[in-house]
């Protein structure tokens, strides 16, 4: 099953956030496109965290998530909205959230296109994203 891209866009457009954020942080690669759409909605900066846990077939390739590149943006006292496409076990997004908080972020809230997060567009069985070729 695949969601319609316009349906996802409409959910982003109608998304109401109860906090203000300084920046959106995407968990690359999956969170990059949805994070950019959310960044456009909010009119704030976008940063990437390159983290790896699973291969392209969603099978774990590491025992724990791995940060592939150091954080290269200012974190101290910043409020971040951390975005990923899918939250399955929560290990990757929790790892990313912990990294940002340990580096001095004041607030880190999570957003998933699909999965259990502070903000979710969907929280249902896995489905194919329309931007996956």
Percent of the chain surpassing pLDDT 70: 92
Each residue's pLDDT tens digit, 76-122? 999 999 999 999 889 999 999 999 999 999 999 999 999 999 999 99
What does 57-116 look like in DSSP terms, one character per residue? TS-B-SSS-EE-S---S--TT-EEEEEEEE-SSSHHHHHHHHHHHHTT-SEEEEEEEESS
Predicted structure pTM score: 0.90
Domain 5-122 annotated CATH 3.30.1330.60: no
Q: Where are the domains of the chain?
A: 5-122
Instruction: Using DSSP bridges, classify how beta strands 107-114 and 79-86 pair: parallel, antiparallel or unpaired.
Output: parallel
């Amino acid at each position: 099953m695949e969601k319609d891209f316009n349906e996802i866009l409409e959910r982003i457009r109608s998304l109401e956030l109860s906090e203000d954020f300084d920046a959106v942080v995407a968990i690359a690669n999956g969170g990059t496109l949805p994070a950019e759409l959310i960044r456009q909605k909010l009119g704030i900066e976008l940063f990437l965290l390159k983290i790896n846990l699973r291969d392209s077939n969603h099978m774990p390739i590491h025992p724990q998530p791995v940060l592939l590149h150091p954080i290269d943006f200012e974190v101290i006292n910043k409020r971040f909205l951390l975005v990923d496409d899918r939250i399955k076990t929560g290990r990757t997004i929790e790892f990313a959230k912990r990294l940002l908080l340990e580096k001095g972020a004041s607030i880190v809230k999570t957003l998933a296109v699909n999965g259990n997060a502070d903000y979710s567009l969907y929280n249902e069985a896995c489905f194919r994203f329309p931007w996956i070729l």
